[in-house]
Amino acid sequence: MISRLYKLIVIAMERDTYDFELEQIKKLIKERGAKRVGLQLPEGLKTEVTDIAAEISKDTGAEVIISGNSCYGACDIDEKLERIVDVLFHFGHTQTFFLKKEPLLRKVKKVVFIELRSSVNVKLVVEKAVAEIKGDTVGLVATVQHAHALKEAKAVIIHSGKKAVIGKSRLKYDGQILGCDFSSAVVPCKEILCIGSGSFHPVGLALYTGKRVIAADPFTMQISIYEAEELRKKRYMTIARSLDAKSVGIIVGMKSGQFDLSEAIDLKKKAVEKGIGAYLIVMDDIEEDKLLGFKVDAFVNTACPRVAEDFVHFEKPVLSVKEFEVVLGERKWEDIFKPFSFKR
Ligand code: SF4
């Protein structure tokens, strides 16, 4: 009960620090003369959305339509909603390279990304995290909500007598990371300090960069350590369970920034050449109960490259593309994990 209450307090604290940019949103609606407006927020912030809708509607006169679908990243634009509105506000992510993909160019004009910058003070948690840095230098990264605070975090580390490097990113900001892009962690040091909440990003950082990750949560003030080898072992075991597969379901994600049919067809061809039966399966959200019925020995996921990690305890192995290439004998085990996994 206490831990549930604590969680709710943390969520409320977190929410209160985000900049929803409502004044800019209302200004833009008026400037564009938008009559219908769409709102898409990540799961944890859906409690806010009715208040936001009411305020926008009252102050602009626009009809506001809320997306009830998932919102995991900039790869996950609610396309059906986007088609029926004049402008769609997508919260919590930055426009990324995914949107440069050909089928998505049309959407860039209609979708406005609200980054939800957090005003939480990162100084205290970074001061606490410094004690965990083993070497002289640490790479410094953050999710988009805290990317603007990285310089301040760097100053804290330097003040403690250590060095900090903020790496160049393929994303909008230096030091910014995504669940599938850790290009900013390609820096000359063995440890990364990651500012943000939850385990999704630090787990990916450790897994894909092979570095030791110190995760610093500025809301809970919790410091957690992630070691690459432990995480990689779990994935190697899943690959090992797939080595004898006689048939595979190749999942094609239908979310706008994850769709890659040509890659799925290519993998199917390679599997068939190796004597493995292969079937293409399209899905929006990839969930265990939706996979249960298929009579195949394993699944390969061509959508979000991090989804396979959610299926560690699933009765059948679910592999990423690179992991399946190991099964096909086309990739070495040591070449599976790279800091940017989306573009393969
Ligand atoms: S990690 Fe997955 S959900 Fe997140 S941005 Fe990348 S593809 Fe999208």
User: For position 292, which CATH number holds?
Assistant: 3.40.50.11860
55 and 143 in a single domain? The answer is no
Q: Which of 92, 114, 136 is the last residue of a domain?
A: 114
144 and 213 in a single domain? The answer is yes
pLDDT score for 99: 47
pLDDT score for 3: 63
Top mutation candidate among 143, 180, 200, 207 for ligand 1, by most atoms within 8 Å of CB:
180
pLDDT along the chain (344 residues), means of 10: 59 82 97 97 91 97 96 89 96 73 59 95 97 97 97 97 95 93 94 96 95 97 96 94 97 89 96 98 94 96 90 91 96 86 48
pLDDT score for 112: 95
Give the ligand 1 atom nearest the CA of 74: 5
CB proximity list for 38: less than 8 A, separation 6 or greater? 64, 65, 66, 67, 78, 81, 82, 84, 85, 87, 88, 89
pLDDT score for 170: 86
User: For position 159, which CATH number holds?
Assistant: 3.40.50.11850
User: Is 179 near ligand 1, meaning CB less than 6 Å away?
Assistant: yes
pLDDT score for 11: 66
Q: How far is CA 158 from the centre of its chain?
A: 29
Strand order in the sheet with 191-195: 163-165, 137-142, 191-195, 212-216, 223-226
In 3-state terms the chain splits into helix, strand, coil percentages (rounded to 5) of 40, 20, 40
User: Is 258 near ligand 1, meaning CB less than 6 Å away?
Assistant: yes
Distance from Cα 257 to the centre of ligand 1, integer Å: 9
User: For position 67, which CATH number holds?
Assistant: 3.40.50.11840
Q: Which of 206, 226, 246 is the last residue of a domain?
A: 226
Residue 284 lies in a domain: yes
pLDDT score for 344: 42
* Domain extent for 169: 123-226
The three-point CA angle 66-118-170 to 5° equals: 85
43 and 73 in a single domain? The answer is yes
Residue 8 lies in a domain: no
pTM: predicted TM-score of the whole model, two decimal places? 0.90
pLDDT score for 338: 80
Distance from Cα 271 to the centre of ligand 1, integer Å: 25
97 and 184 in a single domain? The answer is no
User: Is 75 near ligand 1, meaning CB less than 6 Å away?
Assistant: yes
Top mutation candidate among 69, 70, 76 for ligand 1, by most atoms within 8 Å of CB:
76
Distance from Cα 342 to the centre of ligand 1, integer Å: 8
Residue 331 lies in a domain: yes
Q: Which of 160, 195, 226 is the last residue of a domain?
A: 226
User: Is 317 near ligand 1, meaning CB less than 6 Å away?
Assistant: no
pLDDT score for 30: 97
pLDDT score for 194: 98
Domain count along the chain = 3
Give the ligand 1 atom nearest the CA of 303: 7
Distance from Cα 179 to the centre of ligand 1, integer Å: 5
pLDDT score for 201: 96
Alpha helices, DSSP H only, in the chain? 2-17, 22-32, 46-60, 79-84, 105-108, 123-129, 150-159, 200-209, 228-242, 261-273, 288-291, 321-327
Handedness of CA 169, 175, 178, 180 (dihedral sign): positive
221 and 262 in a single domain? The answer is no
pLDDT score for 251: 97
